[in-house]
Chains A and B, each alone.
Chain A
Amino acid sequence: MIHHSTAPSFEFNDIGLADDQYAVRIRNLSHHFGTGDLKTQVLYDINLDLKRGQIVILTGPSGSGKTTLISLIGALRSAQSGSLKVLGKELVGLNKAQLVEVRRNIGFIFQAHNLFDSLTASQNVEMAVELLEDWGEKRAKAAEILAKVGLASRVHYKPKALSGGQKQRVAIARALVNEPALILADEPTAALDKKSGREVVTLMQKLAKEQGRTILIVTHDNSILDVADRIINLVDGRLESDQSLETFVNTHDPKSLDRRMFIM
């Protein structure tokens, strides 16, 4: 375990890799909420590189800053200090309109599916295709991706007629349809039962491997840790560890691992 104050950086010295081989490069990123007396620091001097094609799981206790970090990477918040490069673009200092542009290249999967009840599965997915103003092929694209997530027979169903797992798969289809190079998922299995959760994650893994996508998943669910190439642990706003799955499991006593997962 690395001590907090050393502010560990990972793959930092891997000079052999060019910039565009990283989906995300973070240097000395700190973040504060509030102003004046209420100002609280939530992220401390984060250094992190995510290689293209990796599936990375970000874990850590509640309040550790996971969500803040992923929302900064997703250009959902303005980054304040340090350097944050996403898909080769520096996000620190961008205005809101520029952040919107960055977001169009990122696929988001949320804890809740956030589908429009009034739209069919296909229309919900088409909303993403419409961002590219690709009017002609949007229906075909939606149908194709829905087939890939196993919903070929549910294309014209509204969310009410779909199960929880199916809805989340529609949300995944929506996130993937534009073939984003980076996919950010926040607790994608939290609203699902174990079996559907497993299916959803396996599906994400399959699509990522097929299409070479980088996926960053924030999760408390240790039953899905096995899909990850890397597991990053964030504690109190600092990167605490970064290891491969094997190391993570080996270095954590299964009992304490379980306990830690449940209190989060």
Chain B
Amino acid sequence: MRTPIAWLNLVHEKTRLVVAIAGVAFAVILVFMNLGFLGSLAKTAALIYNQINADIFLVSPQALEITTTKAFPIERIYQAAGVPGVERTMPLYVGYLQWRNPITRQSRAMFVYGINPNDPVFVMPELRSPENQAALRRWDTVLIDRLSRPEFGPQDIGTVTEAGRRNVTIGGQYSMGGGFASDGTLIMSDQNFRRYLAPIPLNLINLGLIKLEPGADPQQVKAELQRILPKDVLVFTRQEIIERDRDYWISATSIGFMFTMGVIVSLVVGVVIVYQILYTDIASHMKQYATLKAMGYNKRFLFALILQEAIILAVLGYIPGFIIAVGLYELTTRATAGGLPIGMEVSRAVLVLVLTILMCSISGLISVQKAVTADPADVF
């Protein structure tokens, strides 16, 4: 076996090694956090749609994502109801409402779902409790999301405050999470929705929800719906609309750009840190490298040696970086009360490992220039 000189050189300088590992770990953590936020964008989109009890969604072609929709005629879901394989169609109204915190008297925008109380629009079982069902049917009464930010004030049942210049009573609670677009959500009946978000007529809906009969093929029904419906609605399966929302957040908003930029900047910082460490290491070993060359080792050997050091640093820095990132993910999830679903995924762990190795290799390639110039004639 070849003497593991790269490894021995690195572990020989304990302090330098610790600093190097800390530097790499730092970059790894930053990359993980940025990718985590980016990933939670995607998850958020899925999170909302997965709580909706529908297989096919109708939206206006002008809709960007669930909180930015354009209303279309309710007749579309009546037309869809006639298609074979469709079990049930339901309207969903969405909009923003100013919700006043009853304690601080500060108003904030709350995202509102308006539903027909007779429709099983959401899958959350707690919505079907008799208390919540009764509350949904009362005037000026709403259900509030427990995962709404604390700035919206108390969520206790019976709390009375003001929303959109009307009194409102909290009649019940559910758990859903608002994702990136909203800090809090409400569910109310379509009748209440019409009054709070006046002047919206109930014959214009934001989403058409279509539940299929068991065994029906979504693609087939989708094709039929596309055939019979006018061009003022688009037809998506659940997976498609999740991807559409995700793509919107990632590519059409600055959020996606911001986190991608964050990843790049973190990697650049990592490259610089590792370069510094490797350069110092090379500078202090120039005589030895020149001696190796005098003995008959070629440039390729030194090249491989520095690259090995870089990759060892990558792996050694990745391990603590990974562990700390998992901890920070947990912390973020808790800090946002589950509203920001951020968690470790195998694919991301692998991606970051590859990026880290790439990052260190780039540093290695930059710093190796110095090592290969070690002139054996200089040691004489």
Any chain A CB within 8 A of the CB of B350?
no
A117 to B327, CA, bound (A): 38
Enumerate chain A residues within 8 angstroms of B293, measured Cβ to Cβ.
Answer: 100, 103
Enumerate chain A residues within 8 angstroms of B138, measured Cβ to Cβ.
Answer: none
Contact A116 B295 (CB under 8 A): no
**Which chain A residue has the least Cβ–Cβ distance from B284?**
A117
Q: Which of B2, B288, B296, B377 contacts A116 (CB 8 A)?
A: B288
**Which chain B residue has the least Cβ–Cβ distance from A117?**
B12
Given A100-B298, A127-B295, decide whether A71 and B380 contact each other with a Cβ distance below 8 A. yes
Any chain B CB within 8 A of the CB of A186?
yes
Given A114-B287, A114-B288, A119-B3, decide whether A131 and B380 contact each other with a Cβ distance below 8 A. no
Given A104-B295, A110-B291, A128-B295, decide whether A74 and B380 contact each other with a Cβ distance below 8 A. yes
Residues of B in contact, count (CB < 8 Å): 26
Contact B380 A103 (CB under 8 A): no
Any chain B CB within 8 A of the CB of A15?
no
Contact A74 B294 (CB under 8 A): yes
Any chain B CB within 8 A of the CB of A67?
yes
Any chain A CB within 8 A of the CB of B228?
no
Enumerate chain B residues within 8 angstroms of A70, measured Cβ to Cβ.
Answer: 380
**Which chain B residue has the least Cβ–Cβ distance from A128?**
B295
Shortest distance from the beta carbon of B363 to any chain A beta carbon, whole Å: 20
A119 to B293, CA, bound (A): 17
Enumerate chain B residues within 8 angstroms of A76, measured Cβ to Cβ.
Answer: 294, 375-377, 380
Given A76-B294, A127-B295, A135-B1, decide whether A116 and B379 contact each other with a Cβ distance below 8 A. no
Shortest distance from the beta carbon of A222 to any chain B beta carbon, whole Å: 20
**Which chain B residue has the least Cβ–Cβ distance from A103?**
B296
B259-317 contacts to A, CB under 8 A, are: 285, 287-288, 290-298
Residues of A in contact, count (CB < 8 Å): 31
Enumerate chain B residues within 8 angstroms of A108, measured Cβ to Cβ.
Answer: 291, 294-295
Shortest distance from the beta carbon of A258 to any chain B beta carbon, whole Å: 25
Enumerate chain A residues within 8 angstroms of B290, measured Cβ to Cβ.
Answer: 114
Contact A103 B294 (CB under 8 A): yes
Contact A118 B294 (CB under 8 A): no
Enumerate chain A residues within 8 angstroms of B294, measured Cβ to Cβ.
Answer: 74, 76, 103, 108, 110
Contact A119 B380 (CB under 8 A): no
Q: Which of B285, B298, B380 contacts A186 (CB 8 A)?
A: B380
Query: 0/1 per residue, B312-348, Cβ < 8 Å to A?
Result: 0000000000000000000000000000000000000
Query: 0/1 per residue, A97-118, Cβ < 8 Å to B?
Result: 1001101100010111011111
Given A112-B287, A135-B1, A186-B380, decide whether A118 and B295 contact each other with a Cβ distance below 8 A. no
Residue in B290, B375, B380 whose Cβ sees the most chain A Cβ within 10 Å: B380
Tell me the A residues contacting B by CB distance below 8 Å. 67, 70-71, 74, 76-77, 97, 100-101, 103-104, 108, 110-112, 114-119, 123, 126-128, 130-131, 135, 174, 186, 218
The 5 closest A-B pairs by CB, nearest first: A118-B12, A104-B296, A114-B291, A76-B377, A118-B8
Tell me the B residues contacting A by CB distance below 8 Å. 1-3, 5, 8-9, 11-13, 285, 287-288, 290-298, 375-377, 379-380
